[in-house]
Amino acid sequence: MTEEEARAALDVPRETQARLEAFIRFLTEENARQNLVSRASLEQVWARHIYDSAQLLRFVPADTSRWLDLGTGAGFPGLIVAALFPGRFTLIEARRLRVEFLRQGAEILGIEGRVQVVQAKVEAAPDAKYGVISARAFAPLDKLLLLGERFATPETQWLLPKGRNAKSELEAAHSSWQGDFSLEPSLTDGDAQIIVARGVRRKSGGKRTR
Ligand SMILES: C[S@@+](CC[C@H](N)C(=O)[O-])C[C@H]1O[C@@H](n2cnc3c(N)ncnc32)[C@H](O)[C@@H]1O
């Protein structure tokens, strides 16, 4: 997907567009100070980051009110979907500088009132339940499910963008996990897929985190 295609695909009100542009300027400036995203990816920021995050919205139940994003890094996908979808968002990120970046980013996007950025390792974050759990480039699927399961109910929708290893990660996880898993094509990268899952539960005898 080209930059022009990504911008056009993201059909948002002018004010949201302006806020996203301001966030991209902030990301670009801050990237010179801390290594948030690769420089090459900044040249295709709409396709590689903004629309790559936004495309998850096609899998989100309309009545979702609480969304959790694990290892949000520079804001993808958690901060971007929060700018485009109502409800309350919790973003967990371990690194202090990235947490400060995310909090400022939420202000720039005008969503600081409904976005909580938690500075913690996911393993140590407070317990709560969420309707959606997302994570991009955070951990292999099996580890991701282990870390995320205490935040999930049987109704939780898991949205996990993966690269070209999606199928093999899913096959590897099948020995420990059951649920409704599907592999959906990424709209931004023909080689990538998104693992969408619901009703995820551990098979008896599966591993435990604690
Ligand atoms: C490869 S980056 C991906 C960031 C973002 N999701 C993206 O796709 O651009 C992984 C992020 O997860 C954070 N992270 C790694 N392990 C973590 C943990 N156990 N708990 C919370 N954050 C963690 C890192 O600090 C980093 O910002």
**pLDDT (tens digit per residue) in 44-78:** 999 999 999 999 999 999 999 999 999 999 999 99
- CB within 8 A of 68, min separation 6: which ones? 89, 90, 92, 128, 130, 132, 133, 134, 148, 151
**pLDDT (tens digit per residue) in 126-143:** 999 999 999 999 999 999
Q: Which atom of ligand 1 is nearest to the CA of 78?
A: 6
pLDDT at 200: 97
DSSP state of 204: T
Question: What's the rounded Cα separation, in Å, for the pair 10 and 7?
Answer: 5
**pLDDT (tens digit per residue) in 85-118:** 999 999 999 999 999 999 999 999 999 999 999 9
Nearest CA to ligand 1 atom 15: 71
Domain range list for the chain = 3-202
- The architecture in CATH of the region 3-202 reads 3-Layer(aba) Sandwich (3.40)
Q: Which atom of ligand 1 is nearest to the CA of 49?
A: 9
Q: Which atom of ligand 1 is nearest to the CA of 135?
A: 6
**pLDDT (tens digit per residue) in 150-189:** 999 999 999 999 999 999 999 999 999 999 999 999 999 9
Measured in Å, residue 171 CA sits from the centre of ligand 1 at: 23
R_g over Cα of the chain: 16
**pLDDT (tens digit per residue) in 3-52:** 999 999 998 999 999 999 999 999 999 999 999 999 999 999 999 999 99
Best mutation site among 41, 67, 81, 93 for ligand 1 pocket (most ligand atoms within 8 Å of CB): 93
pLDDT at 207: 59
Measured in Å, residue 14 CA sits from the centre of ligand 1 at: 31
pLDDT at 208: 56
Q: What is the pTM of this model?
A: 0.95
Indicate if ligand 1 lies below 6 Å from the C-beta of 76.
yes
Indicate if ligand 1 lies below 6 Å from the C-beta of 162.
no
Question: What's the rounded Cα separation, in Å, for the pair 12 and 33?
Answer: 30
pLDDT at 204: 81
pLDDT at 205: 66
Output the six-digit token pair for 57.
């919205």
Question: What's the rounded Cα separation, in Å, for the pair 106 and 19?
Answer: 10
Q: Is the pLDDT of residue 210 over 60?
A: no
